[in-house]
């Protein structure tokens, strides 16, 4: 079935889904320019609606070196001026940005000349592959190759030359763990900086015969907190909203080869275990295969899968009664993961507002290959993802190996979504399998997503979602349906939401994740976020969030939370007073004793307490930046203070050092306790292709101090060497607490080489 065509040039702007959380907006939040700018004359503004531009073809060799000196760069026309989204929507940018597009049969070339009248003040601190560019000047690109206004490929770079790529799904969800084979080079000049991209068509999926793609480009001038865009430059829309992209045309006669990538690997590790003081060495080889069955359907296979290069999880101490969520980090499961997303999550909250804590994942990939903290080796896996007309498809099958604690098992996951209108879909999901020993089960359900950015005829965002899920297993009852709905109007000045969700105790998806059960959740919230023109304030936020959980078996109130932010100011300097005196009224009813900390047992009963919070964060554009978060007040049956401090120092573009400390000091009648988590990251990038990251973590509950050092060397795109060193120490319980005993030591290495056909 052919893919649906893109809208005509006369079509209205695409509807948009919800904006990301407030702290995400704060990173790119704009401040009013020091010098006032005149309004853009009507003739200088691009026409209303999606923008469009042709891509010039070339047969000449284009060298990717950050210098746009080939004749075809000069002969091709720019795609048109970028327009401010922030701080002055619709105005001429303070600095000119020239964007030129070329293509030959194998590559899309993008050349960007980012002029800057103060070139010595251009900010480029990050160089490593997939580094965070939130505090840098940057260029971001979206390629909606299917023109479906929902999914896109994402590419970004900074003046230091960092390569960042990802997959966008559901019109806003960005997965940065996808790594494509592509090139980008940057160069600083006396007039600013230049970025040159070469994106192989073999690295993309797109429908055959379609010569028009969705496209957007954004430039951030971070010292001014200024964002300019080619299309969709409105405060109500975020860059990740694919529906706001324009169109590029003349993309005919593109080559993908036979669409086959073969990536063999060899890996080995050396382990010294402290318990028996023995050394062991293991080696393995495996294979990953990527094949485009059609230009829009990709088959991914893995044999004898190795995840030795995966980063370790961030330490957390759980002071709640419910499960903590740990994100997936393994590359096989992360690639094209967006197709498996389901409407039982969210809606999202502004930064700093506690989440509802009742998200449901019918499929949570960490349930495969990991069990009770132990790795379960994967013999083979296969995944089919892509599009067929208005349908998005996802099919996953994995076979795990026999181990000493669990038998070999096969797991299946299926997902299908039918897209309709501009941003809406209806979908189905199915999973089969349960990783627990001796258990089996299935989960199936449906979801609905409706979204528009033209709600009630104006420039307003609105999203409605609903879902129903059923889990079944031979040893469980039939009362296992979970269902719910949510609605949110995520707009720049006003933001409101309501969510209702029911999760019975017997609802236990074998391959899913449920934070709490036997509850009915209700969340109602609203925010008012004006942009006043005084005291150097960029935007103010005022929030009221109310959440309650009622038990399904007795109908009693189990917990409620009222969170009020009366004052949250973001300044034009980039500094933020996120909370001056946030108010949090909490009710908890314990139906059984709760051990909040080892040896501290809270008895059955009702608890009501009020807490307060203040947060300040300095602008991350500075070489030294940080934040302080202090919370205090009543806590369960007593009182507690919580202090979270973060500091980051940069020696651009090579070194970034970040220190974090999260400490809770509780004084309860049942006992006193202190919970500490300290984290340090020390990252060094010699170039965009050679980097060393170090993560050091300590928590006083496990008394474990851990170090992971991870070297990544990209010899050339598609050919990577990883070397990972891990070491642990246990703090001795006696004495001053400064004595640590060495534990296990592990060194892993992996080399992967991609052959393209």
pLDDT of residue 7: 35
What was the pLDDT predicted at 624? Answer: 95
Q: What is the pLDDT of residues 385-441, one digit of tens each?
A: 998 889 999 999 999 999 888 899 999 999 999 999 888 999 999 999 999 998 899
pLDDT for 634 = 98
Asked if pLDDT for residue 9 goes beyond 50, the answer is no
Cα–Cα distance measured from residue 710 to residue 729, given in angstroms and rounded to the nearest whole number: 18
- Phi and psi, residue 662, nearest 5°: -125, 115
Q: Are strands 97-103 and 56-57 parallel, antiparallel or unpaired?
A: parallel
Rounded to whole angstroms, how far apart are CA atoms 639 and 632? 8
Residue-level pLDDT at 169: 83
The alpha-carbon radius of gyration of the chain (Å, integer) is 26
pLDDT band at 373 (very low <50, low <70, confident <90, very high): confident
**Token digits of residue 660:** 């974090």
CB-based contact 569:537 (threshold 8 Å): yes
Q: Please compute, for residue 694, the number of CA atoms within 13 A of its CA located in the half-sphere on the CB side.
A: 13
Indicate if the pLDDT at residue 16 is higher than 70. no
**Mean of the pLDDT values across residues 354-374?**
89
- What is the structure's pLDDT at 213? 96
- Residue 207 is predicted with a pLDDT of 87
φ and ψ at residue 161, rounded to 5 degrees:
95, 15
- Whether residue 111 contacts residue 187, with contact meaning beta carbons closer than 8 Å, is answered with no
User: 3-state SS string over 18-62?
Assistant: CCCCHHHHHHHCCCCCCCCCCCCCHHHCCCCCCCEEECEECCCCC
Which band of pLDDT confidence, cut at 50, 70 and 90, is reported for residue 456? Answer: confident
Kindly list the distances between the CA atom of residue 342 and the CA atoms of 171, 326, 482, in Å, as whole numbers in the listed order: 13, 17, 13
The SS3 of residue 120 is helix
pLDDT for the residue 317: 93
- Give per-residue pLDDT as tens, 184-243: 999 999 999 999 999 999 999 888 888 999 999 999 999 999 999 999 898 888 899 898
pLDDT at 508 over 60: yes
User: Which residues, other chains included, contact 41 with Cβ-Cβ below 8 Å and sequence gap of 6+?
Assistant: none
pLDDT score, position 10: 32
C-beta atoms surrounding 757 within 10 Å: 10
Query: What pLDDT, on the 0 to 100 scale, is given for residue 12?
Result: 31
Q: Which residues pair with 452 in a beta bridge?
A: 462
Instruction: Please tell me the total number of residues recorded for the chain in this structure.
Output: 757
Burial 110-127 (b: 16+ CB within 10 A, else e): bbbbbebeebeebbbbbb
Report the alpha-carbon angle 606-608-614, nearest 5. 150
Position 278 scores a pLDDT of 87
Helix (H) or strand (E) holding 709: strand 704-716
Percent of the chain with pLDDT over 90: 71
β-pairing, 226-229 vs 83-86, is: antiparallel
C-alpha 663/C-alpha 642 separation (Å) is: 6
* Contacting residues for 611 by C-beta, under 8 A, at least 6 apart: 584, 586, 631, 632, 633, 634, 635
Peptide bond into 58 cis (omega under 30): no
Q: Sort strands 740-753 and 719-731 into parallel, antiparallel or unpaired.
A: antiparallel
Other CB atoms within 10 Å distance of the CB of residue 536: 12
Strand residue runs (E) in 88-170: 97-103, 107-115, 138-144, 152-157, 164-169
Q: Which residues pair with 442 in a beta bridge?
A: 432, 472
Residues 6+ apart with CB under 8 A from 34: none
Q: Is a pLDDT exceeding 50 seen at residue 29?
A: no
CA 202 to CA 262: how far, in whole Å? 13
How far apart CA 382 and CA 302 sit, in angstroms, is: 6
Each as own residue / partner, the long-range contacts of residues 622-627 (CB below 8 Å, 24 or more positions apart, any chain) are 623/649, 623/650, 623/651, 623/652, 624/648, 624/649, 624/650, 625/135
pLDDT at 139: 98
Q: Are 205 and 295 a contacting pair, CB within 8 Å? A: yes
Answer left, alpha or beta for residue 453, where phi above 0 means left and psi between -120 and 50 means alpha: alpha
Q: What is the pLDDT of residues 735-749, one digit of tens each?
A: 666 789 999 999 999
The CA-CA-CA angle for residues 40, 44, 45, to 5°, reads 80
pLDDT at res. 478: 63
Distance CA 608, CA 637 (A): 8
Q: What mean pLDDT do residues 491-508 have? A: 94
Mean residue pLDDT across the chain: 89
The token pair that represents 73 in the structure block: 């760069």
Token pair recorded at residue 377: 């080796």
In the structure encoding, which two tokens stand for residue 546, read together?
């109310």
The residues that bridge with 584 in the sheet, in sequence order, are: 563, 611
Q: Which residues partner with 189 through β-bridges?
A: 192
Please check whether residue 484 is in contact with residue 500, taking contact to mean a CB–CB distance below 8 angstroms. yes
24 has pLDDT over 80: no
pLDDT tens-place string over residues 570-600: 998 999 998 989 999 999 999 999 999 999 9
- The Cα–Cα gap between 37 and 491 comes to 26
The predicted pLDDT at position 45 comes to 58
Task: Give residue 553's Cα distance to chain centre.
Answer: 36
- Condensed to tens digits (0 to 9), the pLDDT of residues 103-146 reads 999 999 999 999 999 999 999 999 999 999 999 999 999 999 99
Q: Which pLDDT band holds residue 32 (cuts at 50, 70, 90)? A: very low
For the chain, percent of residues with pLDDT exceeding 70:
92
Mean pLDDT of 37-64: 72
User: Which one-letter DSSP state was computed for residue 332?
Assistant: H
Of 564 and 310, the structure prediction assigns the larger pLDDT to 564
pLDDT attached to residue 11: 33
Domain with CATH 2.60.40.1190 in the chain: 54-249
306 has pLDDT over 80: yes
Q: Is 119 in a helix, a strand, or coil?
A: helix
Token pair in block for residue 458:
């104006």
Assess whether the previous peptide bond of 613 is cis (omega < 30° from 0): no
Q: How many CB atoms lie within 10 A of CB 579?
A: 23
User: What CA–CA distances, in Å, run from 168 to 183, 313, 397, 691, 696?
Assistant: 19, 23, 23, 25, 31
d(CA 67, CA 75): 15
Segment 621-647 shows an average pLDDT of 96
User: Would the pLDDT of 296 be above 90?
Assistant: no
* Topology, domain 54-249: Immunoglobulin-like (2.60.40)
- Compute CA distances 165 → 132, 160, 181, 246, 299, whole Å: 11, 16, 10, 20, 20
How many other CB atoms are there within 10 angstroms of residue 258's CB atom?
Answer: 9
* Interatomic CA distance for residues 453 and 37, integer angstroms: 29
Condensed to tens digits (0 to 9), the pLDDT of residues 517-529 reads 999 999 999 999 9
For the four alpha carbons of 307, 308, 311 and 312, in that order, the dihedral sign comes to positive
pLDDT score at 548:
97
Q: In a 10 Å sphere around its CB, with 0-12 CB exposed, 13-18 middle and 19+ buried, how is residue 246 labelled?
A: buried
DSSP string, 678-707: EEEEEEEEEETTEEEEEEEEEETTTTEEEE
Range with lowest mean pLDDT among 24-33, 273-282, 629-638, 686-695: 24-33
**Contact 166/178 with Cβ under 8 angstroms?**
yes
What CA–CA distance (Å, rounded) separates 594 from 319? Answer: 10
């Amino acid at each position: 079935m052919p893919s649906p065509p893109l809208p005509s040039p006369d079509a209205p702007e695409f509807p948009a889904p919800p904006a990301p959380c407030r702290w995400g907006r704060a990173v790119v939040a704009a401040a009013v320019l020091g010098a006032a700018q005149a309004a853009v004359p009507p003739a200088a503004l691009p026409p209303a609606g999606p923008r469009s531009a042709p891509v010039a073809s070339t047969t000449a060799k284009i060298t990717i070196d950050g210098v746009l000196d080939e004749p075809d760069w000069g002969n091709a026309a720019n795609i048109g001026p970028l327009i401010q989204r922030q701080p002055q929507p619709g105005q001429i940018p303070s600095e000119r940005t020239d964007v030129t597009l070329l293509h030959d049969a194998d590559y899309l070339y993008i050349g960007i000349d980012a002029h800057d009248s103060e070139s010595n003040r251009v900010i480029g601190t990050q160089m490593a592959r997939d580094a965070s560019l939130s505090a840098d000047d940057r260029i971001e690109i979206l390629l909606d190759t299917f023109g479906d206004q929902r999914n896109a490929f994402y590419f970004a770079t900074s003046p230091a030359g960092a390569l960042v790529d990802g997959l966008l799904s559901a019109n806003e969800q960005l997965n940065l763990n996808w790594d494509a084979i592509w090139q980008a080079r940057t160069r600083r000049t006396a007039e600013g900086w230049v970025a040159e991209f070469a994106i192989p068509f073999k690295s993309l999926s797109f429908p055959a015969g379609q010569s028009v793609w969705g496209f957007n480009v954004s430039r951030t001038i971070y010292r001014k907190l200024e964002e300019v865009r080619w299309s969709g430059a409105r405060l109500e829309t975020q860059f990740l909203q694919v529906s706001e992209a324009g169109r590029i045309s003349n993309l005919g006669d593109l080559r993908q080869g036979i669409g086959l990538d073969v990536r063999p690997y060899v890996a080995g590790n050396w382990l010294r275990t402290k318990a028996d003081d023995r050394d062991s060495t293991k080696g393995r080889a495996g294979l990953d295969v990527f094949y485009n069955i059609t230009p829009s359907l990709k088959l991914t296979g893995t044999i004898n899968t190795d995840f030795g290069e995966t980063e370790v999880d961030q330490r957390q101490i759980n002071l709640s009664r419910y499960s903590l969520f740990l994100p997936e980090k393994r590359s096989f499961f992360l690639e094209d993961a967006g197709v498996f997303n389901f409407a039982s999550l969210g809606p999202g909250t502004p930064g700093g507002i506690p989440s509802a804590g009742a998200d449901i994942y019918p499929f949570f990939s960490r349930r495969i290959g990991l069990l009770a903290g132990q790795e379960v080796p994967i013999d083979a896996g296969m995944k089919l993802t892509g599009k067929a007309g208005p349908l998005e498809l996802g099919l996953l099958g994995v076979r795990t190996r026999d181990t000493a604690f669990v038998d070999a098992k096969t797991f299946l996951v299926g997902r299908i979504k039918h897209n309709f209108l501009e941003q809406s879909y209806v979908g189905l999901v199915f999973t089969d399998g349960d990783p627990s020993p001796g258990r089996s089960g299935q989960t199936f359900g449906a979801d609905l997503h409706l979204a528009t950015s033209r709600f009630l005829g104006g420039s307003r965002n609105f999203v409605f979602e609903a879902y129903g899920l059923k889990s079944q297993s031979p040893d469980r009852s039939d009362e296992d349906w979970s269902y719910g709905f949510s609605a949110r109007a995520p707009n720049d000045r006003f933001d409101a939401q309501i969510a209702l969700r029911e999760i019975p105790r017997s609802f236990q998806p074998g391959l899913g994740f449920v934070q709490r059960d036997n509850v009915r959740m209700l969340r109602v919230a609203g925010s008012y976020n004006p942009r006043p023109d005084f005291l150097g304030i960029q935007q103010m936020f005022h929030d009221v969030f109310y959440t309650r959980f009622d038990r399904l078996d007795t109908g009693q109130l189990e917990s409620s939370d009222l969170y009020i932010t009366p004052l949250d100011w973001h300044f034009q300097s980039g500094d933020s007073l996120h909370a001056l005196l946030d108010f949090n009224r909490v009710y908890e009813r314990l139906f059984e004793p709760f051990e909040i900390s080892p040896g501290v047992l809270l008895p059955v009963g009702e608890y009501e307490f009020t807490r307060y919070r203040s947060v300040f964060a300095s602008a991350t554009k500075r070489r030294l930046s940080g934040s302080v978060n202090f919370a205090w007040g009543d806590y369960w049956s007593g009182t507690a203070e919580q202090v979270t401090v973060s500091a980051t120092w940069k020696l651009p573009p090579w070194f970034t050092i970040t220190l974090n400390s999260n400490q809770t000091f509780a004084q309860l009648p049942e006992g006193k306790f202190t919970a500490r988590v300290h984290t340090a990251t020390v990252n060094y990038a010699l170039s965009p292709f050679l980097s060393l990251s170090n993560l050091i973590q300590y928590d006083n509950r496990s008394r474990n101090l851990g170090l992971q050092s991870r070297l990544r060397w990209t010899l050339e795109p598609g050919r990577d060497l990883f070397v990972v060193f891990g070491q642990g120490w246990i703090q001795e319980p006696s004495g001053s607490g400064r004595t640590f005993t060495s534990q296990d030591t592990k060194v892993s290495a992996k080399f992967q080489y991609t052959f393209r056909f």
